[in-house]
Structure 1
C-alpha cells in the first residue's frame, strides 16, 4: 500500500526547511505567500502570529487549488518577536536591526510562532508557541560587529539565534526551535495527529 503523502510548505525560509529536514520531513513543494505583514491597530503579538500563519496557509491552499493540487497537507508558520506588546520588525535595513538590538540588549523578550496546518480534507489546525529569551547587555563592539556580519537581514527582531546572536542569549525558557522559526514538537504533533506519516522515513531508513 502506498504511503505517499504530499506536504507543501507555505514558506521559502531556509531555516524552516532545515528544521523540517531535521525532523526527517522533506516538503514536496514550497509555496511562499506574499502577504502584507503589517500589524493591525493595537494587535497583540500573539494574535499577529496566529493571523499571519493562517493567512499564509489559506493563500497557499487557494494557489494549489488553482493548480489542481488540492490533495496536500499545507504547513505555514509566522514568527513574531516582541518586547511587551511592541512588535519588532523583520529587519531589512541596518538602522532597523540596530534599533531592535538596542531594545533587546539586557532585556527579556518573547518570541511567538503561529503554526497552521490545512489537511487534504480542508481541516484547519493551529498552534501558538511562546518562548522567553533574555539577552546580555550588548557592548558597542558586539553590536557593531553583529550588524557588520549581515546575519540580521530579514530576521524578526533583527537577529537569528542559530547564528552569531546565539552568544547573546543569557537565558531561554521554552522551545529553541520556536525561536529559529518553527517549533518542531508542536509541528510534528499537528502533522501526526492529522494522519501525516512523519515517521515513515525514519522506519524506511531514508533520513540523511
Structure 2
C-alpha cells in the first residue's frame, strides 16, 4: 500500500515537475511566488541548486502543507548553463554539450511550518556529437527556452543525442523522484 502524504504544494511552474509528481501519485497544488534566482559567487553547482531552492522556499509561509521547491542546474566543466536567453544562446549551449559529458544537479527544499530541509541529486549525462543543423532542428521543434542547459531529456535531445546517463533520469527532468519520495517520508517521520 502506498504512503499517504499530507497536502503538498509544488512551487514550480515547470510542467515536467508537475507531471512527475502526478506520476508519483501525489496530491498537490501548484502555487507560485516570484523569487530572485541569483546566487552568491563561488558556490559549487550543487550548492547553487540548493541555495536557489531554499530561496524559493523562504517565500512561503506553510503551516500544514508541505511545500516543495526545486532548482535544476546544468554544469559543464564548472560552467553553469542556465536557461537560454535567446536562440543564439541556446545554439551556443547545445554546441558546448555536443560530444561531451556534463552534470545535472537538482536542489530540493521541503518546508512545513518552521521545519526546513534541503537536499540535492546529481546525474552525469553523456551526449554524442551533433551538427549545427541538428541543433537548429532541435531549437525549431522543441523550444528549449525554459530548460536549464537548453534541452529536455524527455524529448528529441534525450532520445537521439543522450548516449547514457549515470544517476537519476528524473533528476535531469528537474526532480529526483526516487530521492524525493524517500526524503518526504523522512521529513514527515512516516
Contact 1:45 / 1:87 at 8 angstroms: preserved in 2?
yes
Distance in 2, matches of 1:58 and 1:151, equals 31
Deviation at 1:30?
Answer: 1.6
Distance in 2, matches of 1:74 and 1:185, equals 17
Deviation at 1:102?
Answer: 0.7
**Gaps (5+ residues) in structure 1?**
65-69, 198-208
- The count of corresponding residues between Structure 1 and Structure 2 is 186
Which digits, 9 at most, give the CA deviation of each residue in 1:92-132, with x for residues without a partner?
41111111101101000000000111124x21111110000
Which digits, 9 at most, give the CA deviation of each residue in 1:51-102, with x for residues without a partner?
01111112123xx5xxxxx221111111000112110121241111111101
Map 1:42-191 → 2, pairs under 5 A: 42-61=42-61, 64=62, 70-120=63-113, 122-166=114-158, 167-191=160-184
Deviation at 1:136?
Answer: 0.6
- The structure-2 alpha-carbon separation of the partners of 1:196 and 1:160, relative to structure 1 and needing over 3 Å to count, comes to farther
Aligned residue in 2 for 1:206: none
Contact 1:151 / 1:160 at 8 angstroms: preserved in 2?
no
Whether 1:12 aligns to 2:13 is yes
Deviation at 1:142?
Answer: 0.9
Which runs of 4 or more aligned residues in structure 1 lie more than 6 Å from their structure 2 counterparts after TM superposition?
Answer: none
Contact 1:31 / 1:60 at 8 angstroms: preserved in 2?
no
Aligned residue in 2 for 1:25: 26
**Gaps (5+ residues) in structure 2?**
none
TM-score by length of 2: 0.91
Contact 2:106 / 2:171 at 8 angstroms: preserved in 1?
yes
- Greater radius of gyration (CA): 1
